[in-house]
Amino acid sequence: MENTRTIKELTQAVLQETEKIIVGKEKEIKLVIMAVLADGHVLLEDLPGSGKTTLVKTLSAALGCESGRIQFVPDLLPSDITGMIIYNQKTGDFQLRKGPVMTNILLADEINRAIPRTQSALLEAMEERQVTIDNERYELPEPFLVLATQNPVEMESTFKLPAAQMDRFLVKLSLGYLDRESEVEMLERLGDRIPFENVQKVTDHREILDAQKKAQEVFVAQNVARYMVDIAAATREHGELTLGVSPRGSKALYKAAKVWAAMEGRDFVTPDDVKAVAVPVLSHRIILSPEARYSGAEAEKIIEDILKEIPVGDIVNEL
């Protein structure tokens, strides 16, 4: 696979293939691609039928990586995710039966339907890129990405993701409904079936890993880094929040902004790059106060308001 392309060219190639199936969601697709190139994980939270699983399957085909799927249910066990050691009666040896987590792209479908103990089995994999089975550690393939989906509407037989696990997701997205024109285009283009076979592989794991390394070289000026910290600090002092953005969240914003800049064809980060990724990177890392939830406040809107309040004029002039 050609690996002399820029990150912007790679992004456009993956975006073009993904849009064969996913209509009218360019920004959301680019944010998922950003997460891939930032070596992060994605949580897609949306209504049933909005295209969450379709997006994951389409993107996996375009990226050309091995993929696995786990349908989360209340009786799912941690070993159903990580795998287990079994006894082979024919050979008389104990052998590893790999779980679906040992892949490049893992679709964790309806992740909030599993009990907390099972959800926590993903934590080690997401953070350390390894799993522990019978006290033995096994490295996961590179790249490794969890694309999890959850339905926020149905509350029966669901379990809220713990804050520790939410913090492991680089971004949280919602696809939302299509506008009328895009929905008509979807029907005309796809009809009553989804032609995944039309999606071509346009990259592979080697080029993705190379792009991840290139993205780390993007320059971040000190004043831009201070701007990111100012955003995080504003959440910690916000009157409607009981929990603001942690230092892990600041690091996630730093990483995401660098990749977004590279995707836009630049080797340095601007405040606009920070603004482009701040809401999906930070909104799931804050906790609203009970009073704010009661009054109908939304985490995304709070981050948007903070972005409007923090001045960027001097930063732009110094770049």
Span 179-190, average pLDDT: 83
283, 274 contact by CB (below 8 A): no
pLDDT at residue 50, as a whole number: 66
**Nearest residue to 225 via CA among 180, 270, 265:** 270
pLDDT at residue 124, as a whole number: 81
CA atoms within 13 A on the CB side of 301: 7
Percentage of the chain lying above the pLDDT 70 cut: 94
Lowest mean pLDDT segment, chosen from 48-52, 231-235, 306-310: 48-52
What is the distance between the alpha carbons of residues 158 and 135, in angstroms, rounded to a whole number?
Answer: 30
Span 240-262, average pLDDT: 95
pLDDT at residue 267, as a whole number: 94
Q: State yes or no: pLDDT of 315 exceeds 70.
A: no
DSSP lists the bridge partners of residue 107 as 69, 147
Long-range Cβ contact pairs of 309-314 (< 8 A, separation 24 or more): 309/234, 310/227, 310/230, 310/231, 310/234, 312/227, 312/271, 314/223
Q: Could you tell me which CATH number the domain at 7-207 has?
A: 3.40.50.300
Span 167-187, average pLDDT: 86
257-277 pLDDT tens trace = 999 999 999 999 999 999 999
What is the distance between the alpha carbons of residues 305 and 286, in angstroms, rounded to a whole number?
Answer: 14
Query: 89: which DSSP letter?
Result: T
217-241 pLDDT tens trace = 999 999 999 999 999 999 999 988 9
Average pLDDT over the chain, rounded to whole? Answer: 87
Q: State yes or no: pLDDT of 127 exceeds 90.
A: no
Q: Which CATH number fits domain 217-318: 2.40.50.140, 1.10.3720.10, 3.30.310.50, 1.10.8.80?
A: 1.10.8.80
List the structure tokens of 164.
Answer: 């520790």
pLDDT at residue 182, as a whole number: 83
Domain-wise residue ranges, the chain: 7-207, 217-318
List the structure tokens of 145.
Answer: 């990405």
Mean pLDDT: which of 35-49, 161-175, 191-205, 242-256 is highest? 242-256
150-162 pLDDT tens trace = 877 665 667 777 7
